[in-house]
Amino acid sequence: MMDFLTSRAFKGTVFVLLVIGLIVLPFFLRPFGLLLVAMWMVHAVAALGLNLTLGYAGQISMAQGAFVGIGAYCTGLMTLAGVPYPIAFLCSGVLCFAIGWVLGYPALRVQHHYLAFVTLAFSTLVFLVMRNEEWLTNGIYGLTDIPRPVLLGWNTGKAQDFYFFTLLMTSILAFCVWWIISSPWGRAFVALRENPVRALSLGVDTRRYTLMAFAMGSSIGGFAGALYAPLVQFFEPNSFSLTLSLKLLLMVIVGGAGTFFGPFIGAATEVLLPEWLRIAQGYYLIIYAMLVMVLMMFCPTGIIGLGERVIAHLRQKKISSERSAQAQAMGADTADKKEGAGQ
Amino acid sequence: MAAFIQLFISGLATGAIYALVAVGFMLLWQTSQTINFAQGEFVMIPAFFVLWAIKILGVGFWPAVGIAAIASLLILGVLFKRVIVDPMLKHGVLPLVISTIALSIFLKEAVKDFYSSQAQPFPAMMPSEDLNLFGAVISSQSIFILLIASAAVLGLNKLLNGTRLGRAMQATAQNPSVARILGIPVERMIMYTFLINAVLVLLASLMISPIYLAKFTNGDTLGLAAFIAAIVGGFNQVRGAIVGGLILGVIENLAAAYISAQYRGAIPLILLIVVILWRPQGLMGRAEERTV
């Protein structure tokens, strides 16, 4: 049973059940609930990207929110100008890939807290550009009436249709991330995180992989933004301030950095939990902040790490109880033999 | 020219406040590898201690400042170290960073929910008059801030370099294991740096709140300013943080007037990126060694 809980088959089952649940869900939810779950998926995608940069490659980035913003503005402006959505979607990813690549260069020179501050500064700069360059971004008034796409005759204008569209895109993006992680790329990222100097001496091109980690993580953030724009249909620069970057960082760490499902769980604590805990009302953030502090104190590997620890503990218990049962059986066995010898 | 002097002096005054915050930020980093993302909120909070004491306890301004000082030392000094930092140290830098981000959310929300979300007027420590100096109009408040900040920095310098206690603290920052071998009570020295930080943020809070008004979001810009000042100046030198703070205050003011008011906040960020890429150890700092 315990082995099953950590096995690949179990993870696969959870994934399939999750997807089935998400497909059935819309038939039970009101439009607001749908919007919320779709919002969760978009945040989870952005956190998946950051998890690639931070959790796997170990490069701290406080700019993921800025990439979501760049992606959202790119898609928003292009679709408003009449460009078909798929092209705008791809452009968002490519643009963020390029900017993320450039942002990776500081990471070649500095590490840890310095890198955190460079990315933090970048994030704030992007916010200032969004707010001040009115000719491009419409300044503080933001973008309004962003159209939802019509794909191959499928109009995603209604809440339920767009929900399914988000689910589809999230699944595709999540699959891509999963594929990157389990490819040699993913292992090179982990090598970079664990010991960059050693990775270099073992022939990993750390320079290229550092830049790649930033570029890939950022482009997934851009894709999240491209989904965000038609989902909310209205946004302004404040949606992508430093707060969003910090929130995404919290999501990744709280869920469990360096694990595939971590970002999904982390995003749920930020997006879904506040709505379910409506009783707590305005105090939710206070409670949340306290819980994060306690979690970090006792289990810095996040909620996934906490779960793994519980499973390991249960397994240990099972093994020790099995051993004692075995020892008893053996004891009884030798006693039998003695009796036999006595006869 | 008169306008320039005016901007320069008021920039220096703001910069002096940044410098105090940056020095505290850097002391924490040096002695306990704490990157305090709640440092901005630490500056915002003492003003609310004062306001709370005036409102609830009905005391005058100066007794309220006394109460705020005690509360700062206990909460931002002792409690912060014991409850947040100590249990986290063994986990490394990143979990502690996350924890201080959570703490900053906690402090902000606590003030918003339990006091007010509106900007509160805050009494100044001395009345503001305009002085005329070589044709430039300078607020007496700026001069007052510069004096207090200089006194604080000189006092801190005297403590760190002129006393046995200060040298023991420096030894702790440079190499805790050797300091321990030499019989220095390392734990107590670290606690002193947290207390010093609490005093510095209290001073900064008392000086900046009359200008910006006391508001729960004040910490956002102040915290960022402290990071930038500490990094531009040099992460491992007290004088670095001071120089960084002053440069930052002046540049911000001059950039707002002569370059672009909208991008007032952008110039320090660009300065930060340039400094990190060109001289990661900061303008006055020593290079940190890289370990395998």
Please tell me the least confidently modeled range out of A70-79, A160-169, A176-185, A316-325. A316-325
Q: What is the pLDDT of residue A90?
A: 94
Q: What's the distance, CA A145 to chain centroid?
A: 28
Contact A56, A190 (CB under 8 A): yes
CA distance A272 to A158: 21
Q: State the smallest CA–CA distance between residue B170 and chain A in angstroms.
A: 22
- Residue B201: count other Cβ atoms within 10 Å of its Cβ: 28
- Helix (H/G/I), strand (E/B), else coil: B217: coil
Q: What is the pLDDT of residue B285?
A: 66
Q: Enumerate chain B positions whose Cβ falls within 8 A of a Cβ in A.
A: 29, 35, 84, 87-88, 91-99, 101-103, 105-106, 109-110, 112-113, 220, 224, 227-228, 231, 235, 262-263, 265-266, 269-270, 272-273, 276-277, 280, 292
Which of B283, B236, B219, B288 is CA-nearest to residue B21?
Answer: B219
Q: What is the pLDDT of residue A5?
A: 58
Contact A46, A218 (CB under 8 A): no
Please tell me the least confidently modeled range out of A107-111, A173-177, A226-230, A339-343. A339-343
Q: What is the pLDDT of residue B288?
A: 56
Which of the 8 DSSP states describes residue B89? G
CA distance B47 to B213: 9
Contact B269 A250 (CB under 8 A): no
Please tell me the least confidently modeled range out of A54-58, A125-129, A251-255, B38-42. A54-58
Among B35, B106, B272, whose Cβ lies nearest the Cβ of A121? Answer: B272
Q: State the smallest CA–CA distance between residue A197 and chain B in angstroms.
A: 6
Which chain A positions have a beta carbon within 8 Å of B101's beta carbon? 246, 249-250
Which of A67, A64, A98, A109 is CA-nearest to residue A206?
Answer: A109
Residue A125 forms contact with B (CB below 8 Å): yes
Q: Is the pLDDT of residue A332 over 70?
A: no
Q: What is the pLDDT of residue B287?
A: 61
Contact B106 A116 (CB under 8 A): no
Residue A122 forms contact with B (CB below 8 Å): yes
Q: State the smallest CA–CA distance between residue B174 and chain A in angstroms.
A: 18
Among A109, A286, A290, whose Cβ lies nearest the Cβ of B280? Answer: A109
CA distance B246 to B59: 35
The CA-based diameter of chain B, rounded to the nearest angstrom, is 59
Fold of A25-276: ABC transporter involved in vitamin B12 uptake, BtuC (1.10.3470)
Arithmetic mean of pLDDT over chain A: 84
Which of B283, B246, B276 is CA-nearest to residue B22?
Answer: B246
Q: Find where tokens 């249709």 sit.
A: A161
CA distance B158 to B164: 11
Contact A289 B91 (CB under 8 A): no
Q: Is the pLDDT of residue A1 over 90?
A: no
Residues A130, A134, A140, A145, CA torsion sign: negative
Where does B182-217 have alpha helices with state H?
186-212
Residue A90 forms contact with B (CB below 8 Å): no
Q: Is the pLDDT of residue A342 over 50?
A: no
Interface of A with B in 58-77 (CB under 8 A): 60
Mutation test of the interface with chain A: which of B98, B272, B273, choosing the one with the most A Cβ atoms within 10 A?
B98
Residues across chain A: 343
Which chain B positions have a beta carbon within 8 Å of A116's beta carbon? 35, 97
Residue A293 forms contact with B (CB below 8 Å): yes
Which chain A positions have a beta carbon within 8 Å of B110's beta carbon? 286
Q: Is the pLDDT of residue A161 over 50?
A: yes
Contact A118 B228 (CB under 8 A): no
Contact B276 A293 (CB under 8 A): no
Q: Per-residue pLDDT tens for A46-69?
A: 999 999 988 888 888 889 999 999
Q: Is the pLDDT of residue A108 over 80?
A: no
Conformation bin of residue A145: beta by default, left when phi > 0, alpha when psi is -120 to 50: left
Tell me which residues of chain B have a pLDDT lower than 50.
290-292
- Please, which residues have CB within 8 angstroms of residue B142's CB and are 6 or more apart in sequence? B9, B10, B12, B13
Q: Find where tokens 């002391």 sit.
A: B27
Q: Which two tokens stand for residue A272?
A: 């879904």
Work out the burial of residue A64: count CB atoms within 10 Å of its CB; fewer than 13 is exposed, 13-18 middle, 19 or more buried: buried
Q: What is the pLDDT of residue A87?
A: 92
pLDDT over 70, % of chain A: 92
Q: What is the pLDDT of residue A243?
A: 86
- Please, which residues have CB within 8 angstroms of residue B41's CB and are 6 or more apart in sequence? B103, B104, B107, B108, B219, B223
Q: What is the pLDDT of residue A107?
A: 73
CA distance A258 to A273: 22
Q: What is the pLDDT of residue B292?
A: 40
- Please, which residues have CB within 8 angstroms of residue B86's CB and are 6 or more apart in sequence? none
Which of the 8 DSSP states describes residue B82? I
Contact B97, B34 (CB under 8 A): no
Cα-based angle B193, B197, B202 (whole degrees, multiple of 5): 150
Contact A133, A221 (CB under 8 A): no
**Does the structure's ipTM exceed the value 0.90?**
no
Write the secondary structure of chain A as one string of H (helix), E (strand) and C (coil): CHHHHHCHHHHHHHHHHHHHHHHHHHHCCCHHHHHHHHHHHHHHHHHHHHHHHHHHCCCCCCCHHHHHHHHHHHHHHHHHCCCCHHHHHHHHHHHHHHHHHHHHHHHHHCCHHHHHHHHHHHHHHHHHHHHHCHHHHCHHHCECCCCCCEECCEECCCHHHHHHHHHHHHHHHHHHHHHHHHCHHHHHHHHHHHCHHHHHHCCCCHHHHHHHHHHHHHHHHHHHHHHHHHHHCCECHHHHCHHHHHHHHHHHHHHCCCCCCHHHHHHHHHHCHHHHCHHHHHHHHHHHHHHHHHHHHHCCCHHHHHHHHHHHHHHHHHHHHHHHHHHHHHHHHHHHHHHHHHC
Q: What is the pLDDT of residue B151?
A: 92
Chain A with chain B: Cβ pairs closer than 8 A = 110
Which of the 8 DSSP states describes residue B133? E
Q: What is the pLDDT of residue B44?
A: 92
CA distances A207 to A118, A211, B245, Å, are 18, 6, 34
Which chain B positions have a beta carbon within 8 Å of A288's beta carbon? 102, 105
Which chain A positions have a beta carbon within 8 Å of B28's beta carbon? none
Query: How far is the first Cα of chain A from the last one, in angstroms, to the nearest whole number?
Result: 43
Which of A127, A143, A64 is CA-nearest to residue B263?
Answer: A127
